Chains A and B, each alone.
Chain A
Amino acid sequence: MRNIIFNPYKQQYIWVVIIDNTTSFMALSLQIPQKIKAFFIEIGELSYFAGRYFKEAFSPPFEFKELLRQCYNVGNKSLLLVGVTGFILGLVFTLQSRPTLMEFGAESWMPSMVSISIVREIGPVIIALICAGRISSGIGAELGSMRVTEQIDAMEVSGTNPFKFLVVTRITATTLMIPLLIIFGDAVALYGSALVEYLKGDVSFTLYFNKVFDAIKFSDIIPATTKSFFFGFAIGLVGSYKGYNCKKGTVGVGEASNSAVVYTSMLLFVIDFIAVFISDIFFEI
């Protein structure tokens, strides 16, 4: 069987005769380095974009009005989604854990277990993922559509720095607002959990929250809060990067929005892994 493939080393198409699976594998292997190269180029461009953010964020003029508008968009408009997600998270987590703890006669450990799990790990990660879906894709789509409809060019031509106005404000807003949303989501999740305990285990809200506050230490809160700032930064950064560099018209806008969610979600897990690793060194989890 004959086939045509692209040889990335020589930048030309070549004919290959596929005799068996070995030849097929060889044909495939020629394409892999190109993908790896593209991956590293993307990482490099994203790092450059992040570097430009830090350069522009700390040099005047500052866009405070737009920053407040973005904080409102990111924070206030996500409250309901985060609240509902957090509440269901606490509810389900408690309902699922109860039978197992009951088997060991350890229901009294429920508030401690749920609160530590939610505050340290589940709350920040789940809420950040939810925000990646809503906020990062939203930023990607918004900036992408501004790019393809020449609105970003129009800003530049009017003498305004569009990176400062559009990108810096959005990344700063997500960096500031995501930690607040995570704290809010954690609190609602604990209320959800307390409600299950109240209805199923006859545990009063006061007793439940007394136990929660006994269980949670600063060494639980500080790493979780610190990493939530990085989650916020990643959500804003990837969404803005994908949208700001969007190409290929309306198809590009869809791709920017979609890939913003995918890349952000991946990056959140990488950040989480690094954060847990570092927390382990400083706080001995």
Chain B
Amino acid sequence: MTERANISPILKITNLKKSFGENHVLNGFTMSLFKGENLVIMGKSGSGKSVMVKCLVGLMEADSGSIEIMGKDITKLKQNDLNNLRTEIGFLFQGSALYDSMTVRENLEFPLRKLKKKSNNHDKLIIEALENVGLAHAIDLMPDELSGGMKRRVALARALILHPKIIIYDEPTTGLDPITSKEIILLIKNIQKKYGTSSLIITHDVDCARVISNRMILLINGINYKEGSFKELASSTDKNIQAFFK
């Protein structure tokens, strides 16, 4: 942590608050993500993980607090600037969120619409992204022809295609069988090694956290309750923390 004190984080959330009526979901959540690290955020269902992530990418407006991504406060950005910044962030949705009226190729082509270079370069990027997830053969299939694990891998390829500096994974292993979950976890780890991206992983899967994380944050009652490595948190005697590792 002393080394990090001198490095500016690639993503910084300060005192984030969000309420829905009387339900205070985030109560001053603060965190930093540094270049090349895998930060896992764990929390119970309804603890505000998804709300935090939605605020982070501008899908939801926070009540107060600041979110700085690569030095830019997204709460103060204009829509066009926010859209440009979003190309630097990959997002893997919990349910994959593949466009079901488009083929795998078209799904991957969609984020490339922002790029000016056309055609050949697009094909190269699409094939490279699919090869990364081992699904080059599925390029012309429709999403409904894919299994759950394949969908997640195509979604991962889509999140990767613009070589983003940050990738956010929202429950990457939820709804998958243990074997496929393991494959996805290893895939995430390999991709992080290959591209050196910073990853923010939202999960309640302890195995996933153990394999992937460099650092972990436990989100309880809308605040970062405890921060540390997997080992530190797993060996904690605090009952609230132990509940996650049982």
Chain A contacts to B: CB under 8 angstroms: 142, 145-146, 149-151, 153-161
Known interface pairs A149-B95, A150-B95, A151-B98; A157-B59 also in contact (CB < 8 Å): yes
Contacts of B95 in A (CB 8 A): 149-150
B3 within 8 A of A: no
> Whole-angstrom distance between the alpha carbons of A202 and B222 in the complex?
82
Set B79, B87, B97, B113: member contacting A154, Cβ < 8 A: B97
CB of B169 within 8 Å of the partner chain: no
B93: interface (CB < 8 Å): yes
Question: In the complex, what residue of chain B is closest to A145 when comparing beta carbons?
Answer: B100
Complex CA–CA separation, A149 to B96 (angstroms): 8
User: A149-B95, A150-B93 in contact; A155/B86 too (CB < 8 A)?
Assistant: no
* Chain B neighbourhood of A160, CB < 8 A: 83, 110-111, 113-114
**Chain B 82-109 near chain A by CB (<8 Å), digits 1 or 0:** 0110110101011101111100000000
Contacts of B100 in A (CB 8 A): 145-146, 149, 151
| Contact yes or no, A157 B110, CB < 8 A | no
Asked if A154 and B93 make an inter-chain contact with CB atoms under 8 angstroms apart, the answer reads: yes
Instruction: Kindly report which residue of chain B lies nearest to residue A156, judged by CB atoms.
Output: B59
Question: 13 pairs across A/B with beta carbons < 8 Å?
Answer: A146-B100, A149-B95, A150-B95, A153-B59, A153-B93, A154-B97, A158-B114, A159-B84, A159-B86, A159-B87, A159-B114, A160-B110, A161-B83
B99 touching A157, Cβ below 8 Å: no
B-to-A contact residues, CB < 8 Å? 54, 57-59, 79, 83-84, 86-87, 89, 91, 93-95, 97-101, 110-111, 113-114, 158
Closest 4 CB pairs of A and B: A154-B97, A150-B97, A159-B83, A158-B111
Which residue on A lies nearest to B112, using beta carbons? Answer: A158
Instruction: Compute how far the CA of A72 lies from the CA of B107 in the bound complex, rounded to whole angstroms.
Output: 20
How far in angstroms is the closest Cβ of chain A from B236? Answer: 34
Looking at the assembled complex, report how far the CB atom of B156 sits from the nearest CB atom of chain A, in whole angstroms. 13
A239 shortest CB reach to chain B, Å? 15
Report yes or no: B86 in contact with A151, Cβ–Cβ below 8 A. Answer: no
In addition to A154-B91, A159-B84, 4 A-B residue pairs with Cβ atoms within 8 Å of each other are: A153-B93, A156-B59, A158-B111, A161-B79
Contact of B110 among A142, A149, A150, A158 (CB under 8 A): A158
Minimum CB–CB distance from B90 to chain A (whole Å) comes to: 9
The prevalent SS among residues of A at the interface is: helix
Contact A149 B97 (CB under 8 A): yes
Which residues in A have their C-beta under 8 angstroms from that of B110?
Answer: 155, 158, 160
Q: Closest B-chain residue to A148, C-beta based? A: B95
Q: How far is the CB of B196 from chain A (nearest CB, A)?
A: 21
Contacts of A145 in B (CB 8 A): 100
Partner of B91, one of A146, A149, A157, A161: A157
Q: Which residues of B contact A156 (CB under 8 A)?
A: 58-59, 86
Central interface residue in B58, B79, B110, B158, by most chain A CB within 10 Å: B110
Q: Cβ of B158: which chain A residues have Cβ within 8 Å of it?
A: 158
Distance, CA A156 to CA B83, complexed state (A): 8
A159 B111 Cβ-Cβ under 8 A: yes
B residues near A146, Cβ cutoff 8 Å: 99-100
Residues of A within 8 A of B114 (CB): 158-160
The docked-state distance in angstroms from the alpha carbon of A150 to that of B111 is: 16
Residues of chain A contacted by B84 (CB below 8 angstroms)? 159
| B residues in contact with A153, CB < 8 Å | 54, 59, 93, 97
A142 / chain B contacts, CB cutoff of 8 Å: 101
Roughly how many angstroms separate A158 CA and B93 CA in the complex, as a whole number? Answer: 12
C-alpha spacing A159/B98, complex, angstroms: 15
A157 touching B86 by the CB < 8 A rule? yes
Question: Which residue of chain A has the shortest Cβ distance to B170 in the bound complex?
Answer: A150
CB-CB under 8 A from A157, the residues of chain B are 57, 59, 86, 89, 91
**A158 proximity list for chain B (CB < 8 A):** 86-87, 91, 110-111, 114, 158
Question: Which residues on B sit within 8 Å (CB–CB) of A150?
Answer: 93-95, 97
Interface centre among B79, B83, B84 (most CB of A within 10 A): B83
Cα–Cα distance between A181 and B99 once the two chains are bound (Å): 29
How far does the alpha carbon of A159 sit from the alpha carbon of B210 in the complex, in Å?
32
Chain A nearest CB from B88 CB (Å) reads 9
B residues in contact with A161, CB < 8 Å = 79, 83
Q: How far is the CA of A153 from the CA of B93 in the complex (A)?
A: 9
Counting chain B CB atoms within 10 Å of each CB, which of A146, A150, A155 scores highest?
A150
A158 to B87, CA, bound (A): 6
CB distance from A266 to the nearest CB of B (A): 29
B161 CB to nearest chain A CB (Å) = 9
CA A37 to CA B26, docked complex, whole Å: 31
